[in-house]
């Protein structure tokens, strides 16, 4: 019994242990289920919280009482900096300055009438009715005035109107004002280049950097132009004086380095002030040097003579009969100061004979004539850094008559910068170098130079241009100490399809010093009037020629060309490239 009892007791003890074990596993399972439930609940709570936060952020993005996004976006747009533009000597032509713009948050404005009155007291030019509508609306952000003066900003600040704020922006400033306006160009209210070298800078990659978020500071490499601000001032000043004196409707000019193609100065009057460009879109503010095309008149005889001599079909000792006008197709080609005799090539040039020049061109032939003008880059649009440029116009059907009239500058319109660039090639030894408004070395110029005429032809042209200044129509361009050479051009303007007898476009194409030219100077006067001192004449010899001489007299020494007195004038062949 005892053993049985013990056995039974042992079994019973064993059953209790098993039961106890099962109870423990059940409890753990319950606890595990509870833990998982709590985790699920926590996840659900956090998910809901994040959903609420996300929803709130989305709502704030669409319906924020604070127009931070718009304000920041405007600030970003205005923060874009531009590189300084410098002249060849480091003088600043364009730079960024900090200024303020005023904006409004209509939802924050308490009294619209009070706000409108305060704004109009500082900015009376703003349309009050439109302003009232904008401020009374439900918009979150609107501009009031961009680029205000410190005094205007202070006045608005003192007005203390709730909902009116200020943002700082970069504004373009041009220290030289209108002096080089057609070269430098200008920017719009968002500091984006819209004309001149300012637009060139954007087209060269600055606008891409702005779009990508770069170029936000003022520590950008400056852009150095070929312009000499001193020479630029002289050119503009002399153009203005002659324009006033001869009552011309416009005046323009360009100075170019014949060995590098650099434009040293260029001006076109009337011009505009890029700091206050209210007149920039007026038709008479056109940049006549690159964006205008004209019949250049007798200055074109320089190109025709060079073509004839370089062809080998005409020599300096040849002569042409100018005793009678040329009658063709019901028209007449005659000379203004007719000599009515046989003229040598130098006489054709210095007496500016239309008859002699036309016969010279006919001897070359129309095909060769057109090909030469093509090689001289006078029949296609000239691409420079300035975006403002025009394409020349000429007859679709190039006839013998076309060759005759174009030989002396009628029937073909070109941009003056094209004539200056070709003239540079005719005096620098015969190499055409594409013009540039950026600083360029002689080494780089040599690499891009293209042959146009021979050294011998170039020497002949230097001789003829100097001879014209000494004995021909360019006498009034002479400058003591400088060996000036040139050619006048008096072109009758076309009105209603006919050449006018009393409206002319005058020009003088010159270079100096003619024994070894360094600079070409081309000046023009549009519709100059005759004066008592010119005996009523309004030809280029009495107005454009002295204008060029005045420019050369003032810029020669500042460009490093030392005056020489008492030297015998013997033009020589320019140094070979």
Let me know how long the chain is. Answer: 577
Place of tokens 């129309």: 366
Mapped onto helix, strand or coil, the DSSP state of residue 395 is: coil
Bridge partner list, 193: 187
Burial of 299 (0-12, 13-18, 19+ CB in 10 A): buried
Alpha carbon 528 to chain centroid distance?
28
- Told to judge if 181 belongs to the known catalytic residues of this protein, a careful annotator would answer no
Sign of CA dihedral 468, 474, 480, 482: negative
Residue 192: name the closest of 78, 277, 273, 100 by CA.
78
Distance CA 258, CA 386 (A): 19
Distance CA 245, CA 218 (A): 44
Mapped onto helix, strand or coil, the DSSP state of residue 110 is: coil
Distance CA 55, CA 207 (A): 37
Annotated catalytic residue within 101, 181, 242, 298:
298
- The verdict on whether omega for the bond into residue 513 sits within 30 degrees of 0, i.e. cis, is yes
Distance CA 540, CA 521 (A): 14
The answer to whether 292 and 254 have CB atoms below 8 angstroms apart is no
SS (H, E, C) 422-475: HHHHHHCCCEECCCECECCCHHHHHHHCEECCCHHHHHHHHHHHHHHHHHCCCH
The answer to whether 155 and 122 have CB atoms below 8 angstroms apart is yes
User: String of b and e for 32-45 (b: at least 16 CB within 10 Å)?
Assistant: eeeeeeeeeeeeee
Distance CA 542, CA 243 (A): 13
Mapped onto helix, strand or coil, the DSSP state of residue 350 is: helix
Mapped onto helix, strand or coil, the DSSP state of residue 523 is: strand
Distance CA 185, CA 94 (A): 9
Distance CA 87, CA 95 (A): 12
Distance CA 320, CA 342 (A): 6
DSSP structural state of residue 477: G
Alpha carbon 97 to chain centroid distance?
21
Residue 82: name the closest of 206, 224, 194, 227 by CA.
206
List the structure tokens of 532.
């008592």
| Helices marked H in 137-201 | 150-159, 181-184, 196-201
- Report, as residue numbers or ranges, the catalytic residues: 298
């Amino acid at each position: 019994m005892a053993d049985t009892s013990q056995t039974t007791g042992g079994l019973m003890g064993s059953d209790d242990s098993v039961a106890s074990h099962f109870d423990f596993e059940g409890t753990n399972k319950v606890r595990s289920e509870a833990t998982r439930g709590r985790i699920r609940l926590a996840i659900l709570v956090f998910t809901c919280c994040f959903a609420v936060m996300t929803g709130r952020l989305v709502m704030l993005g669409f319906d924020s009482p604070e127009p931070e996004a718009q304000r920041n976006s405007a600030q970003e747009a205005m923060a874009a900096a531009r590189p300084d533009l410098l002249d060849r000597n480091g003088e600043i032509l364009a730079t960024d300055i900090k200024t303020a713009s005023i904006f409004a948050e209509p939802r924050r404005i308490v009294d619209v009438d009070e706000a409108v009155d305060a704004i109009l007291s500082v900015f009376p030019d703003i349309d009050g009715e439109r302003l009232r509508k904008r401020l009374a609306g439900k918009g979150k952000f609107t501009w009031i005035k961009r680029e205000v003066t410190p005094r205007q900003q202070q006045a608005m600040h003192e007005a203390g109107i709730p909902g009116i704020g200020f943002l700082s922006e970069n504004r373009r400033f041009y220290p030289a004002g209108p002096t080089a306006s057609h070269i430098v160009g200008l920017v719009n209210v968002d500091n984006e280049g819209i004309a001149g070298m300012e637009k060139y800078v954007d087209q060269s990659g600055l606008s891409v950097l702005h779009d990508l978020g770069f170029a936000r500071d003022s520590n950008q490499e400056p852009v150095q132009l070929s312009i000499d601000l001193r020479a630029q001032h002289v050119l503009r000043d002399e153009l203005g004086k002659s324009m006033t004196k001869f009552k011309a409707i416009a005046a323009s000019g360009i100075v170019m380095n014949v060995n590098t193609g650099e434009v040293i100065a260029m001006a076109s009057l009337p011009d505009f002030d890029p700091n206050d460009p209210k007149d920039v879109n007026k038709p008479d503010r056109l940049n006549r040097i690159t964006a205008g095309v004209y019949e250049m008149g007798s200055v074109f005889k320089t190109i025709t003579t060079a073509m004839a001599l370089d062809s080998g079909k005409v020599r300096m000792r040849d002569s042409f009969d100018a005793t009678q006008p040329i009658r063709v197709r019901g028209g007449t080609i005659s000379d203004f100061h007719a000599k009515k005799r046989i003229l040598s090539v130098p006489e054709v040039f210095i007496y500016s004979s239309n008859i002699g020049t036309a016969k010279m061109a006919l001897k070359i032939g129309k095909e060769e004539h057109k090909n030469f003008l093509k090689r001289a880059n006078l029949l296609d649009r000239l691409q420079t850094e300035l975006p403002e440029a025009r394409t020349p116009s000429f007859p679709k059907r190039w006839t013998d008559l076309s060759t005759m009239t174009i030989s002396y500058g009628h029937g073909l319109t070109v941009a003056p910068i094209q004539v200056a660039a070709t003239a540079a090639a005719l005096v620098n030894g015969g190499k055409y170098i594409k013009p540039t408004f950026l600083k360029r070395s002689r080494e780089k110029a040599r690499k891009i130079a293209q042959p146009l005429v021979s050294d011998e032809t170039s020497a002949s042209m230097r001789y003829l241009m100097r001879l014209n200044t000494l004995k021909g129509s360019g006498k009034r361009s002479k400058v003591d100490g400088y060996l000036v050479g040139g050619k006048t051009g008096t072109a009758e303007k076309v009105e209603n399809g006919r050449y006018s007898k009393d409206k002319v476009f005058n020009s003088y194409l010159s270079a100096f010093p003619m024994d070894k030219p360094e600079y070409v100077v081309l000046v023009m006067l549009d519709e100059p009037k005759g004066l008592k001192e010119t005996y009523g004449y309004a030809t280029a010899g009495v107005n454009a020629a002295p204008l060029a001489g005045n420019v050369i007299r003032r810029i020669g020494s500042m460009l490093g060309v030392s005056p020489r007195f008492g030297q015998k004038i013997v033009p020589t062949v320019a140094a070979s490239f």
